[in-house]
């Protein structure tokens, strides 16, 4: 499986319903929509949150892939599920300790939605090992979280390969999502390194022809 999840962060916020339609294309386009939630504390930027997600939930059936860039995400898991998240990625670095990571994983899984842990570019893949067997997905950040439109950090390519190796050696069935700085120059290598889902914001929403761009990414 190879999937493109456009990041709504790069869309025109004055017309979200239409922006989602542009990528969903009545089911013929993307099945996933990546939603970047930023709190201004875990990351510098503030994006959008619960009321926006519950509003767009009413106008589309696309899978909501919620990426929480918020401190102590455990506090808000229930709210994001209620708002319509189908899967939640939270940051390993945003939790106080490993017990909190484990509790957050359990909370998400007990609500029967997909659970993913995200790691920043400087966080080694090894930190995931104590709980990796519980995860549905791992999100490898390939830029520092906080802003769209940044350059892919090259050392992250090896982290994808390393994670993919751990996955195949142990027969784990989590999927690998890669997020940040992805374009047509690096998408193929990211896919070949083991990514199942790529997140693309700027490259999709700011492109001249969204339909063509989506097709091209899906077939890299």
Nearer to Zn ion, 198 or 214 (CB): 198
No. of H helices and E strands in the chain? 8, 8
Measure the CA–CA gap between 220 and 207, rounded to whole angstroms: 17
Q: How far is the CB of 171 from ligand DX5 (least distance, A)?
A: 29
Q: Which stretch binds Zn ion (CB under 5 A): 15-23, 35-43, 44-52, 169-177?
A: 35-43
Distances from the Cα of 114 to the Cαs of 67, 164, 193, in angstroms? 12, 19, 23
Token pair belonging to 172: 């784990």
**∠ Cα 98 191 108 (to 5°):** 30
The correct pick among 4, 10, 132, 140 for binding ligand DX5 (CB under 6 A) is: 10
Catalytic residue among 26, 36, 61, 126: 36
| Residue 199 touches ligand DX5, criterion: CB under 6 A | yes
Please count the residues of this chain forming the interface with Zn ion, following the rule CB under 5 A: 3
Report the C-alpha gap between 191 and 108 in whole angstroms: 27
Q: In what order do the strands lie in the sheet with 87-91?
A: 3-6, 197-200, 175-179, 137-141, 114-119, 87-91, 63-69, 32-38
Alpha carbon 190 to its chain's center: 15
The question of whether 122 is a catalytic residue gets the answer no
**179 forms part of the interface with Zn ion (CB under 5 A):** yes
Least Cβ distance, residue 137 to ligand DX5 (angstroms): 14
Return the CA Rg of the chain: 16
Site track 30-59 with ligand DX5 (rule: CB under 6 A), x = hit: ----x-x-----------------------
Containing H/E element for 113?
A: none
Residues 65-84 that bind ligand DX5 (CB under 6 A): 67
Residue 136 interacts, among ligand DX5, Zn ion, none and using kind-specific CB cut-offs from 5 to 8 Å, with: none
Structure tokens at 149: 């439109």
Our answer to whether residue 36 is catalytic in this structure is yes
CB of residue 88 to Zn ion, shortest distance in Å: 12
Catalytic residue from among 39, 65, 136, 179: 179
Residues noted as catalytic: 36, 179
Residues making contact with Zn ion (CB under 5 A) = 36, 67, 179
Residues making contact with ligand DX5 (CB under 6 A) = 7, 9-10, 34, 36, 67, 143, 145-146, 148-150, 179-182, 199-203
């Amino acid at each position: 499986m190879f999937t493109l999840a456009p990041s709504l962060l790069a869309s025109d916020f004055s017309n979200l319903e239409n922006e989602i339609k542009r990528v969903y294309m009545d089911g013929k386009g993307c099945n996933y929509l990546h939603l970047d939630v930023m709190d201004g504390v875990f990351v510098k930027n503030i994006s959008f949150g619960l009321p926006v997600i519950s509003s767009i939930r009413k106008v589309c059936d696309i899978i909501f892939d919620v990426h929480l860039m918020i401190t102590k995400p455990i506090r808000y898991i229930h709210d994001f599920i209620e708002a319509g998240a189908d899967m939640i990625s939270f940051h390993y670095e945003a939790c106080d300790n490993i017990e909190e990571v484990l509790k957050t994983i359990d909370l998400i899984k007990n609500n029967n939605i997909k659970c993913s842990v995200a790691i920043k570019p400087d966080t080694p893949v090894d930190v995931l090992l104590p709980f990796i067997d519980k995860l549905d997905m791992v999100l490898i950040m390939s830029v520092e979280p906080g802003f769209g439109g940044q350059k892919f950090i090259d050392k992250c390519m090896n982290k994808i390969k390393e994670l993919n190796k751990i996955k195949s050696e142990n027969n784990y069935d989590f999927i690998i999502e890669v997020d940040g700085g992805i374009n047509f120059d690096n998408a193929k290598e990211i896919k070949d390194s083991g990514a199942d889902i790529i997140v693309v914001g700027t490259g999709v929403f700011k492109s001249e022809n969204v339909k063509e761009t989506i097709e091209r990414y899906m077939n890299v």
